[in-house]
Homo-oligomer: A and B are copies of this chain.
Amino acid sequence: MHKIDLNSYKEIIENYLEQYSLKNFPSNLTDSAHHIMTLDGKRLRPIMVLMSYLSYDENYQKALNAAIAIEVFHNFTLVHDDIMDEAEVRRGQVTVHQKYGVNKAIVTGDAMLPHSYNLLTLGNEDKAADLLAVFSKMAIEVMEGQQYDMNFETTDFVTPEEYMEMIKLKTSVLFGASMEIGGIIGGASEDDRSKLYDFGLYTGLAFQIMDDYLDAFGDPKTFGKKVGGDIVLNKKTFLLTNAMKLATAEQKARIEALFNEQDETTKIEQFKALFTEMGIPQLCIDKMEELHNLALERLRGTTISDEHKERLEYLGDVMLRRVK
């Protein structure tokens, strides 16, 4: 395993974000956009753009604008998602709409989206057509996924297949596009581009299932969010959709009863016991393994050097907490 220092990439991204991410952004919207852009995040998506690019070429400056375009886009979706979820806190800080009002939060996001388009092709105008095609397709899919997710709130029965389709659209295509965009700028072939996209997509899917798993079975000390948050909200996750599908009549009745359980601690405990009894944790682990293997298979099929394959593999391992 080629252990690499991801912090050095994060530092490059953070420095560039600081200087350029809101250059030429409207002055009356800079405070609110700055608020979301400077929350402490892992910057996984722009790091993906950078590392994908670096697999083809050393001059990483060429990929920085596109990398921050992806981060600006991601942060635009966070601003609007927090409005829709009525979230008060994001990464330990007050959300944009709580601090600046819903209307300003809507407009801030609406300006960040065309701003991300501006950044995407800046300095790589010769590759604009390919970059735009990948970016716009992804952006529209993310919105389709967001609406899909909202529809789940009022749907009684969501299948695991529908759930997988939703997280593919809402979160994973952005990881796929990040990889492909880095590849486009680096000069990757059509075939490599498509495999890089799949590597990002499958890693993103596994990442989301891990997030669902940790919400129930994670260590409260390291998870970062409140354990059991999804359970309390009866949220349709990979765990719940599979449990609903596999449940016997008796188990289904217990699930239905737990949906209305008012004591949060009891609800979390009993849902976890039920999930364990049904083998759901192992199902999560198997699915993550399957997706991780698909991601690696695609990565290995590219023409990039073994050293850079190992670097990208390491990035995936960090995302999926397979390494410390």
A interface residues, tally (CB under 8 Å): 41
Selected contact of A106 from candidates B25, B26, B84, B132, CB within 8 Å:
B84
**CB–CB A147/B107 < 8 A:** yes
CA A70 to CA B109, docked complex, whole Å: 19
Q: Contact mask A183-199 → B, CB, 8 Å, 1/0?
A: 00000000000000000
**CB–CB B114/A139 < 8 A:** yes
Given contacts A147-B26, A150-B103, A150-B104, contact A129 B125 (CB under 8 A): yes
A29 within 8 A of B: yes
**CB–CB A28/B147 < 8 A:** yes
CA A209 to CA B109, docked complex, whole Å: 29
Interface pairs (28), CB distance under 8 Å: A25-B140, A26-B140, A26-B141, A26-B143, A28-B144, A28-B148, A28-B151, A29-B143, A83-B106, A84-B102, A84-B107, A104-B150, A107-B146, A110-B110, A110-B146, A111-B144, A113-B139, A114-B139, A114-B140, A114-B143, A117-B117, A117-B132, A117-B136, A118-B140, A121-B132, A125-B129, A128-B128, A132-B132
Q: Which residues on A are within 8 Å of B, measured CB to CB? A: 24-29, 77, 80, 83-84, 102-104, 106-107, 109-111, 113-115, 117-118, 121, 125, 128-129, 132, 135-137, 139-141, 143-144, 146-148, 150-151
Given contacts A117-B117, A129-B125, contact A80 B136 (CB under 8 A): no
Which residues of chain B are near A115, meaning CB under 8 Å?
Answer: 136, 140
Given contacts A26-B140, A26-B144, A103-B84, contact A129 B128 (CB under 8 A): yes
Interface centre among A25, A27, A80, A107 (most CB of B within 10 A): A107
Which residues of chain B are near A113, meaning CB under 8 Å?
Answer: 110, 113-114, 139
CA A150 to CA B26, docked complex, whole Å: 14
**CB–CB A29/B144 < 8 A:** yes
Interface centre among A110, A115, A136 (most CB of B within 10 A): A110
CA A36 to CA B173, docked complex, whole Å: 28
Which residues of chain B are near A136, meaning CB under 8 Å?
Answer: 114-115, 117-118
CA A153 to CA B132, docked complex, whole Å: 37
**CB–CB A29/B106 < 8 A:** no
Which residues of chain B are near A132, meaning CB under 8 Å?
Answer: 117-118, 121, 128, 132
Q: 8 more A-B contacts (CB under 8 A) besides A26-B147, A111-B144, A121-B129?
A: A26-B143, A80-B110, A84-B106, A103-B150, A111-B139, A114-B135, A115-B140, A125-B129
Interface centre among A128, A140, A150 (most CB of B within 10 A): A140
